[in-house]
């Protein structure tokens, strides 16, 4: 209704403008001049309409704008009819009169006054619509808040909550400067522990450094041993300062545990190394308790740190079964579920971002220090956006997330094409201006999630194979040998839904997923640059002649 009124006023203003101009140019005595100017007067609003149509079409073509061109086209058609009528009536000759064309007799002053009144009313209608949109945004804000609060981690009892303990050790971690030995140890983690010529994890300097921080390590392990983690914060008003530095501290804590694990493995304390690695897995689980996408991705990175540490340590020396039994990498963890929760939080944050348009300019922070900063701060653009485009933009945002949530609910191998279609279709069909800025690239994120899921599953199987080897003194012939004593269910490859691949080699065995390239590369290492290769866990064989326990009937 409001829009009908707005477009009606717009049309009235355009016709009155043309009529007023025509009335004034009609008073010119030279007929050819008055006629020429009269035609220009009629064409002036038409040119404005044409520019508006061209601009909106261009934006629609680029996938930035949706929806507004239809009423604009209708107004243009109506004005064209009105303009043609004015041309026919107003440009007629008026012989024997003081004016050259008939429009010269039109009451120019009254038409100008009417135009002024219509323009004032037009501006007020626009203003009223803008105010109404801003009021409606409050409901969207409430929706975003409810969604965010529903995703907040549940309250836990103090005795089970690791967060206060982490908080205590994080302060200590913040306080100490990271010496060169820390940096070297972190950077050297991809080489085997006992690699000659590489970083020496058994060095006296590293021993001294770790001894200085034995207290922090003990507290991190205590925190990691607690089942839950919930930081006391207002999930209705989260801040970057609260969310990101904490994840960074989780990562630093995991790095300290990683260095200590490798040091312990290098000095022969495999039990201590396993305790640290298990603590890394727990830290990853705790980091994932926050519903943000960055928390989820950060937790994946921490878990990968633990998996890499374990893979490196088990290659260096055999690990006893009692030490391996310390490791508790949960089989039932679903990275897909964590990602689905993060997408919901993304949606809530996006809705909240739409609400910032209620009072401020066009999302200035997005354009900070970019060439668009000045344009974004112009309040007129924000008002135009709110009145003409916000509704379609928001609808488009919700529609995109509906597809994302539906795809998140199913395994990746069933929805792979759907994920690539989300952003692809949005580009071709056009989404809103803000949606195109804030919509995540779900295909990329989901691929990363599946990568982490595959890594988790091969690691679960890798730990099981190590335990099997520790008990039986040999590697299993197939993954099926691991059930039900070492793993309850054999996990499938998230990329194709098939069982995880297993390959015996001269040095041990490789458990692998085919990875994002969807090609079985025979357990070859993954190359991030071209996404080729497999996601694998290599178990070293430590079997010795005469040290083989015959398989039991249970196996």
Interface residues with another protein (CB under 8 A)? 120, 124, 127-128, 131, 135, 138, 141-142, 144-146, 148-149, 152, 158-159, 164-165, 168, 219, 222, 232-241, 243-245, 247-248, 251, 292-294, 297-298, 301, 345-346, 348-350, 352-353, 355-356, 359, 363, 365-366, 368-369, 437-438, 440-441, 444, 448
Helix ranges, 199-290 (H): 204-212, 214-225, 240-266, 270-287
Nearest approach in angstroms of CB 137 to another protein is: 10
Smaller CB separation from another protein, 314 or 383: 383
Smaller CB separation from another protein, 101 or 433: 433
Nearest approach in angstroms of CB 83 to another protein is: 29
Tokens describing residue 400: 């995109």
Measured from the Cβ of residue 97, the count of other Cβ atoms closer than 10 Å reads 11
Instruction: Find the farthest-apart pair of alpha carbons in the chain and give their distance in angstroms, rounded.
Output: 127
Nearest approach in angstroms of CB 169 to another protein is: 9
Helix (H, G, I), strand (E, B) or coil at 315: helix
Angle (deg, nearest 10), helices 2-25 and 69-90: 30
Nearest approach in angstroms of CB 448 to another protein is: 8
Nearest approach in angstroms of CB 136 to another protein is: 13
Smaller CB separation from another protein, 47 or 120: 120
Smaller CB separation from another protein, 33 or 116: 116
Instruction: Give the C-alpha distances (Å, rounded to integers) separating 13 from 82, 243, 485.
Output: 12, 52, 82
Establish whether the linkage from the previous residue to 122 is cis, with ω within 30° of 0. Answer: no
Q: What radius of gyration, in Å, describes the C-alpha atoms of the chain? A: 34
Nearest approach in angstroms of CB 291 to another protein is: 10
Contact by Cβ (8 Å): 94, 29: no
Locus of tokens 């050819």: 32
What pairs with residue 536 in β-bridges? 512
Smaller CB separation from another protein, 102 or 233: 233
Cα(463)–Cα(441) distance, rounded to whole angstroms? 33
Burial label for 165, CB within 10 Å (0-12, 13-18, 19+), is middle
Smaller CB separation from another protein, 365 or 519: 365
Nearest approach in angstroms of CB 128 to another protein is: 6
Cα(324)–Cα(370) distance, rounded to whole angstroms? 52
Smaller CB separation from another protein, 105 or 141: 141
């Amino acid at each position: 209704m409001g829009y009908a009124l707005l477009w009606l006023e717009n049309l009235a203003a355009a016709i009155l403008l043309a009529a007023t101009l025509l009335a004034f140019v009609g008073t010119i005595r030279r007929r050819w001049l008055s006629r020429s100017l009269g035609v220009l007067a009629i064409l002036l609003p038409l040119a404005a309409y044409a520019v508006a149509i061209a601009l909106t079409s261009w934006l629609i073509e680029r996938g930035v704008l949706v929806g507004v061109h239809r009423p604009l086209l209708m107004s243009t058609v109506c004005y064209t009819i009105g303009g043609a009528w004015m041309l026919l009536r107003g440009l007629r000759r008026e012989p024997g009169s003081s004016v050259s064309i008939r429009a010269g007799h039109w009451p120019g002053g009254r038409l100008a006054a009417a135009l002024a009144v219509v323009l004032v009313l037009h501006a007020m209608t626009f203003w009223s619509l803008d105010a109404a949109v801003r009021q409606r945004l409050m409901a969207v804000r409430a929706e975003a808040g409810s969604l965010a609060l529903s995703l907040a981690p549940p309250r836990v009892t103090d005795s089970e909550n690791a967060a206060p303990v982490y908080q205590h050790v994080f302060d200590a971690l913040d306080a100490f400067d990271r010496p060169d030995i820390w940096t070297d140890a972190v950077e050297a983690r991809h080489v085997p522990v006992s690699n000659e010529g590489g970083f020496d994890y058994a060095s006296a300097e590293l021993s001294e450094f770790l001894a200085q921080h034995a207290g922090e390590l003990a507290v991190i392990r205590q925190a990691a041993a607690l089942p839950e983690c919930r930081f006391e914060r207002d999930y209705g008003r989260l801040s970057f300062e609260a969310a990101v530095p904490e994840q960074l501290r989780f990562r630093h804590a995991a790095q300290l545990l990683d260095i200590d694990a490798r040091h312990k493995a290098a000095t022969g304390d495999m039990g201590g190394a396993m305790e640290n690695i298990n603590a890394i897995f727990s830290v990853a689980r705790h980091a994932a308790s926050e519903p943000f996408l960055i928390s989820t991705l950060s937790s994946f990175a921490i878990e990968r740190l633990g998996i890499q540490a374990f893979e490196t340590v088990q290659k260096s020396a055999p690990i006893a079964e009692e030490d391996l039994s310390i490791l508790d990498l949960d089989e039932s963890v679903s990275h897909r579920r964590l990602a689905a929760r993060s997408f919901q939080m993304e949606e809530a944050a996006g809705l909240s971002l739409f609400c910032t348009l209620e009072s401020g300019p066009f999302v200035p922070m997005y354009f900070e220090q970019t060439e668009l900063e000045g344009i974004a701060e112009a309040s007129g653009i924000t008002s135009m956006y709110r009145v003409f485009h916000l509704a379609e933009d928001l609808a488009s945002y919700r529609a995109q997330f509906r597809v994302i949530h539906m795809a998140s609910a199913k395994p990746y191998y069933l929805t792979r094409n759907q994920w690539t279609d989300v952003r692809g279709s949005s580009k071709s069909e056009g989404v809103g201006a803000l949606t195109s800025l804030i919509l995540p690239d779900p295909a990329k994120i989901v691929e990363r999630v599946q990568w982490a899921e595959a890594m988790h599953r091969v690691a679960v199987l890798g730990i099981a194979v190590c335990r099997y080897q520790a008990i039986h003194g040999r590697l299993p012939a197939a993954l099926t040998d691991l059930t039900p004593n070492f793993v309850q269910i054999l996990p499938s490859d998230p990329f194709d839904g098939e069982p995880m691949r297993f390959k015996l080699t001269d040095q041990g065995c490789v458990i692998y997923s085919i990875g994002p390239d969807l090609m079985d590369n025979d357990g070859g290492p993954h190359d991030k640059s071209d996404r080729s290769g497999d996601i694998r866990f290599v178990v070293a064989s430590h079997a010795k002649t005469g040290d083989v326990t015959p398989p039991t009937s249970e196996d």
